[in-house]
Homo-oligomer: A and B are copies of this chain.
């Protein structure tokens, strides 16, 4: 069985907002970069899968943040992958801690491997390298799996045309951009001081360069709900931020 792998970060100025704390987007970006770096270390990164016309696709993500790191603060992100309990979904966990080892954040991500030729998810057992027993760690997930986000009834909508800076190596909208679009639609009052939160996000469809997306927002008590629709009015991404 494998161990947790630990990656070090620093809340450099480009990661902070006007509160001088790291943004939710920056922390989620760290989490995904850790996933990428750790997959690369284990020989199963997206660029290796690409040689077989396959790639990792993030399906769902939950993130709990008790606080957000201050500018220049150092912090660690530990990551581990649980043995598969599903044929198609790989669960990667994360734990964020400060330099004294105090945990301040937890995350759980669910990934599929997609075959570009068949446009279908691949049974994980068929993916070379995913059999290495050192890759898995039995330690349980640090937070609840991503919750379903349904029935968003937007009270506010905003349009966003997908441009160059939005797209990733696949020419699809970068996962982080959906989070940015949502935070950009939220009333700024929710962001004027850092608050503990839980984010649940579900990626349903890929969006492409030139598409005009519609970002919908609804506030329901202490939960901010979001829905992003693609150029054909199909739901591309839904999310909820519970302010704690």
Taking CB atoms, residues of chain B closer than 8 Å to A167 are 17-18
Instruction: Chain B residues near A188: list those with CB within 8 A.
Output: 164, 209
A36→B17 contact, CB < 8 A: no
A63-77, CB < 8 A from B: 71
User: Does A5 interact with chain B (Cβ within 8 Å)?
Assistant: no
Contact at B165–A18, with CB atoms within 8 Å? no
Q: Which residues of B contact A209 (CB under 8 A)?
A: 188
Which one of B23, B36, B71, B171 contacts A165 once the chains associate, using CB atoms below 8 Å? B23
Contact A13:B33 (CB < 8 A) given known A169-B18, A184-B164, A188-B164: yes
User: For A163, A171, A185, A209, which residue has the most chain B Cβ atoms within 10 angstroms?
Assistant: A163
Q: How far is the CA of A171 from the CA of B16 in the complex (A)?
A: 12
Residue A186 interfacial (CB < 8 Å)? yes
Asked whether, in the complex, the Cβ of A170 is within 8 Å of the Cβ of B18, the reply is yes
- Among A175-221, those with CB < 8 Å from B are 176, 180, 183-186, 188, 191, 209
A65 to chain B, nearest CB (A): 17
Asked whether any CB of chain B lies closer than 8 Å to the CB of A103, the reply is no
Pairwise interchain contact A36-B18, C-beta atoms closer than 8 A:
no
Task: Give Cα A1–Cα B12 distance, bound, in whole angstroms.
Answer: 28
- Please give me the residue from chain B that is nearest to A46 by CB atom: B13
A: number of interface residues (CB 8 Å): 30
In the complex, A183→B163 CA distance in Å? 9
Please name the residue on chain B nearest to A171 by beta carbon: B18
Q: Is A25 an interface position by the 8 A CB rule? A: yes
Q: How far is the CB of A108 from chain B (nearest CB, A)?
A: 21
User: Roughly how many angstroms separate A110 CA and B146 CA in the complex, as a whole number?
Assistant: 47
Tell me if A184 and B163 are in contact (CB < 8 A). Answer: yes
| A191 and B163 alpha carbons, distance in the complex (Å) | 12
User: Bound complex: CA of A181 vs CA of B33, how far in Å?
Assistant: 24
The 8 A CB mask of A20-46 against B (1 = contact, 0 = none) is: 100101000100010010000000000
**Interface residues, chain A, CB within 8 Å of chain B?**
12-14, 16-18, 20, 23, 25, 29, 33, 36, 71, 163-165, 167-171, 176, 180, 183-186, 188, 191, 209
